[in-house]
Structure 1
Amino acid sequence: MTSDTDARPALETPWRRLDKRMLVVGPLGSLVRFLPVALIVLVTGRGGDPMRLWLPVAIGVLAILAGVVRWRTTQYRITAERVELHSGWLRRQQRSVPRDRIRTVDLTAKLLHRVFGLSVVQIGAASGSTAESSGLSLDAVTTAEAERLRRELLDRSRVAGTAPAGDAVADPPRPRATELARLRWSWLRFAPLTFSAIAGVGAVGAAVFNLFDDLGLNPRDITAVDDATERLTHTPIWLTVAVLAAILVAVAVVGAMLLFAERWYDYRLTREAAADGSAAATSGGAGIGTGTLHVRRGLLTRRSLSVSEQRLRGAEVVESLLLRAGRGAQCKALSAGLSRDAQGGALQPPCPRDEAHRVASAALREHPQEITLAPLRRHPRAALLRRMTRALGPTAVLVAGVFAAGAAVPGLAWLGPPSLLLLPLAALLGLDRYRNLGHELTSRHLVSRQGSVQRRTVALQRAGVIGWTFRQSIFQRRSGMVSLEAITAAGAGGYKVLDVGAADGAALADAAVPHLLTPFLATGPEPGP
């Protein structure tokens, strides 16, 4: 139920449409996606078939009509209380996000949008209802309008009830920005050490295939390729495998570097001061930010991510196995409203480990020893047995299956002895998982670490923990261990502390959020009659 007083400001706020240039950008984007279909029809269609000519025309007309309908049926407005978006014709959608739930604003400008001076504004909101959990998207507004909306939506002083009357429609001032980090091209050496290297194989392979296809060449018809294939068939198998592996690695390295350069070109991480110029508040000597963290990056597709410091709940340093080998890492922000993809919340590209911890320290305004570099407590020895069992058990079953298959099919018998190498590798994996287990409770953060293939060190603000989940399997009960999960509205929604002593786990949860578990811990057996 909304009172007349609350409804009046919303009625006075006019609805706005997307920029008219979307009448060109939208259809062009659709035509680019349908271009392969149109080319196939033109090339493979019969000469007298009218569909060969009319189908591409029909696709173009439909794309234009869809763009016009989309532009005409999409409108939005920003009031002092909410951001509202109405869209759709056959399936009408009305989405609304309270401004006090907005956590992030992500600006994206693909190459086609940049040509026409447009940007997509993605508004990320804290989880409330299902409709609000993912925020909403304005596709697209002018670049200047997108930047103005970014500043306005993240300005906490402009939320209803905190801004002066009439201030909600004023253009927010451009905040002062302090640079925290920028791209160093020496970090390019970490590109092949990420999982993007695998995607790089496909990217470079697709580019080469498209080049041959555009030139009308068939690789099988090229004499040099034919001669190379003939030579490989007459060389020893180990040499053939080595050559192909070297080619694959080279393609992966080149592809990963290209992806890195496109994704992180002109990277900048800055801190924008609050609109009123206020400095960070302090609590117990620790800085609590009142500004905005702003990440800008991208070559073909420009991206700009803004995270409100008041809604920042921590930081995470991620180290994949290859990155760890190269002493590299990547820092990510923990906040609601961030995308769940691999780069969601990334504050920097893969870089040296020390730089990742420095950025986490700068983002949280904390000393590294209080967050991601805090000395961690080791977990009980029973956790080592659990890690080894979970690593060696499935591997032993797999090896036994390989030997069984070799006994049943004589041609596969040679696979048995090499599969035994998986056992020491699994043992090393289990030892590394245990070595990486740890946790600590600092003055303002709960710090935990786990993982081997993907090691994650999380510094979660204690004030951001809204609940706890305790899990204890039958094997954990026998060894007196328990796994905890700190529930939060930011990031992944929960962060685990694996395999700690049962008493230590309860004490950790109670100390991290005082008085939350005290009633349960203090409850004793009911008195007898």
Structure 2
Amino acid sequence: MTSTTGAEWRRLSPRMLVVHPIQEVVRLAPALIGLLVAGSSSGGHGPLWSLAGLVVAVLFGTLRWFTTTYRITPEHVQVRKGLVHRKVLTVPRDRVRTVDVTANILHRVLGLARVEVGTGRSDRKGGGELKLDALGAREAAGLRGELLHRESRTAGAPGETAMGTAMDTAGYTPESAGTPAAAVPAPRQAGVETELAALRPEWIRFGPFTLSGLITVGIIAGFVSRLASEGNVNLGQIAPVKSTLGWFGSLSLPLEIAAGVLILAVFVMIASTLGYILAFWGFRLTRHSSGTLHVNRGLITTRATTIEERRLRGLEVSEPLLLRAVRGARLIAVTTGLRVGQGAQRGGSMLLPPAPLREAQSVATRVLGGDAATVSGPLVQHGPAAARRRFTRSLGVVVAWIVVCLVLWEWSDLPAWTWVAGLALLPVTALIAADRYRNLGHALVAGHLVTRWGSLVRRRVVLEYDGIIGWNVERSFFQRRAGLVTLTATTAAGRQGYRVQDVGLGEALRLASAGSPGLLDPFLSGGRPSSRHETQVPGEPRVPGEPRVPGGPSDIAHPLISG
């Protein structure tokens, strides 16, 4: 298997013939139950239609094994699938960013796992990940090492290839993937893993403050609603539901709202805690000697994510408001190939679950291998103009709402509570504006751009200079009046762009010039490239021995900067 033409196509594990039909039946369960109930209640052939749907689901799940094959060559990873619409997905091996190995309860019973190969586009809808569901657990673990631990294998004895070397931590050899044993060199010693973090039982106290139980509430409500709709069932006529609704109806409106909020809060807290345990039990973050980070977690459904450190461009310390109130935070990798934002937990980019803030900062320092100041040091504040913008934007909307409601209340039948509620919101919005300004900051530390922003979710991002591929300077109409800009560091990782909001133009150019020396020269000094930065920013004292940074008003001549 040293060439593309000689590589053999492999099939998924035959045990997946049990997994996929069951998955399809579970996915179509509401529709099948609806067919059964609706057909029976109307005197039709409900059981027959339900049975026919069951047969179709099982057949559809079974066909995947016959139509899906894959192969690994020294240059490519290829997956061939589809019956009517045949597709061959090909990814160069040097584009592989991450490998995710997941096993739910059914997979674990049958000794299987699902492998997702991230190529740097898996965060996008329909992105470029390759999925293999399902492989044998040993083969899946070996495939992860085969794709990501290339350096440690190719640096071995002469004649060894990426396909002809034993795997590292899983004890996997190519024999388990169908490679002839005669073509396999003798196994070498497994790589060394260093533990960076592991779940502690006391961290579970942060579970209720994640509010992940809200998703559980939505899923349950949606499932019950769809089931009732498919089965033509009136939930209000069920005895427990009817008695509960009657009890709520006997309360006054304020008590109904208070009781509903209390019940919802208790349920969400319990569901969030259970979700935390299910998702992060057994969590362990390790660093492999071959240059990868491993994240293992999960109680019922286990998940193992491997990230190449050379693809890691930075880290994000995220502090949602409730977690921040109890001094908690979570750590997210800024890397290519993994989901970010609201899907970070599901997408595998989370390097540390909700834990104490100090622990998150400590782990971030160990992952970066640099100065602790990058994740916990002081930041440069953004000045009074940025503060005024925060208060103007927050209070301006509420004041406009109050004025409109007062006018409508005076000239129409609009209730008075609308503008009274607006008055009550003024202190709240003022506090939010003050918090947003207090959380603004930036710094340049040890080859990293550090930026912080947010209130409901405070984020501190540490982005290495080498991961920045461009800079974007934006100025809105109101920012121009205030003498401020928003500087965006563009990167191929994470959110693809991280902003330093509402800073002076001179400071924005200083950050960009420090991060990418010489990149802005063609856009400065009348559009003529300059060999040295010799223009001092107005109002800033020059430090002896430090090069001056372009940024004076007379130097701005390009539309990208001048706005």
State the TM-score bracket (shorter-chain normalisation). Answer: 0.7 to 0.9
Q: SS at the partner of 1:515?
A: coil
Q: Provide the residue aligned with 2:356 in structure 1.
A: 352
- Paired with 1:303 and 1:509, the residues of 2 have a C-alpha distance of 39
Give the superposition deviation at 1:408. Answer: 5.6
Q: Judge conservation of contact 1:313–1:460 (CA < 8 Å) in 2.
A: yes
Q: SS at the partner of 1:367?
A: coil
Q: Provide the residue aligned with 1:189 in structure 2.
A: 205
- Paired with 2:157 and 2:339, the residues of 1 have a C-alpha distance of 29
Q: SS at the partner of 2:5?
A: helix
Cα separation, partners in 2 of 1:124 and 1:233, compared to 1, 3 Å: closer
- List aligned pairs for 1:426-437, cutoff 5 A: 426-437=429-440
Q: Judge conservation of contact 1:447–1:457 (CA < 8 Å) in 2.
A: yes
Q: Does 1:126 align with 2:102?
A: no
Q: Provide the residue aligned with 1:477 in structure 2.
A: 480
Give the superposition deviation at 1:491. Answer: 0.8
Deviations 1:249-278 (A, max 9, x none): 21121111111111111111111211xxxx
Give the superposition deviation at 1:459. Answer: 0.3
Cα separation, partners in 2 of 1:329 and 1:416, compared to 1, 3 Å: same
Structure 1 segments unaligned to the other structure (5+ residues): 1-6, 275-290
Q: Provide the residue aligned with 1:415 in structure 2.
A: 418
Question: Structure 1 residues 70-79 or 413-422, which shifts more?
Answer: 413-422
Aligned partner (choices 113, 130, 145) of residue 151 of structure 1: 145
- List aligned pairs for 1:90-489, cutoff 5 A: 90-126=84-120, 134-157=128-151, 165-169=159-163, 170-174=165-169, 175-202=191-218, 222=239, 226=243, 233=249, 235-274=251-290, 291-340=291-340, 341-343=343-345, 344=347, 345-369=349-373, 371-407=374-410, 410=413, 412-489=415-492
Question: Structure 1 residues 497-506 or 152-161, which shifts more?
Answer: 152-161
Matching residue's letter, 1:347: L
Question: Structure 1 residues 231-240 or 251-260, which shifts more?
Answer: 231-240
Q: SS at the partner of 1:354?
A: helix
Matching residue's letter, 1:452: S
Give the superposition deviation at 1:127. Answer: 5.0
Cα separation, partners in 2 of 1:83 and 1:164, compared to 1, 3 Å: farther
Give the superposition deviation at 1:99. Answer: 1.4
Give identity over the alignment, percent: 41
Cα separation, partners in 2 of 1:261 and 1:8, compared to 1, 3 Å: closer
Question: Structure 1 residues 146-155 or 407-416, which shifts more?
Answer: 407-416
Q: SS at the partner of 1:119?
A: strand
- Paired with 1:368 and 1:375, the residues of 2 have a C-alpha distance of 11
Give the superposition deviation at 1:520. Answer: 3.0
Q: Judge conservation of contact 2:211–2:269 (CA < 8 Å) in 1.
A: no
Question: Structure 1 residues 328-337 or 396-405, which shifts more?
Answer: 396-405
Matching residue's letter, 2:492: A
- Paired with 2:315 and 2:96, the residues of 1 have a C-alpha distance of 19
- Paired with 1:49 and 1:236, the residues of 2 have a C-alpha distance of 44
Deviations 1:76-134 (A, max 9, x none): 11111111111112222221111112111111112222222111111111359x99953
- Paired with 1:510 and 1:161, the residues of 2 have a C-alpha distance of 38
Structure 2 segments unaligned to the other structure (5+ residues): 170-190, 530-563
Matching residue's letter, 1:141: L
Q: Judge conservation of contact 2:395–2:429 (CA < 8 Å) in 1.
A: yes
Q: Judge conservation of contact 1:466–1:487 (CA < 8 Å) in 2.
A: yes
Q: Judge conservation of contact 1:199–1:256 (CA < 8 Å) in 2.
A: no
Matching residue's letter, 2:336: A
Q: Judge conservation of contact 1:377–1:438 (CA < 8 Å) in 2.
A: yes
Matching residue's letter, 2:435: D
Matching residue's letter, 2:194: T
Q: Provide the residue aligned with 2:17 in structure 1.
A: 23
Deviations 1:174-204 (A, max 9, x none): 2322221111222222222223142244467
Cα separation, partners in 2 of 1:487 and 1:513, compared to 1, 3 Å: same
- Paired with 2:18 and 2:359, the residues of 1 have a C-alpha distance of 43
Q: Provide the residue aligned with 2:554 in structure 1.
A: none
TM-score normalised per structure 1: 0.86
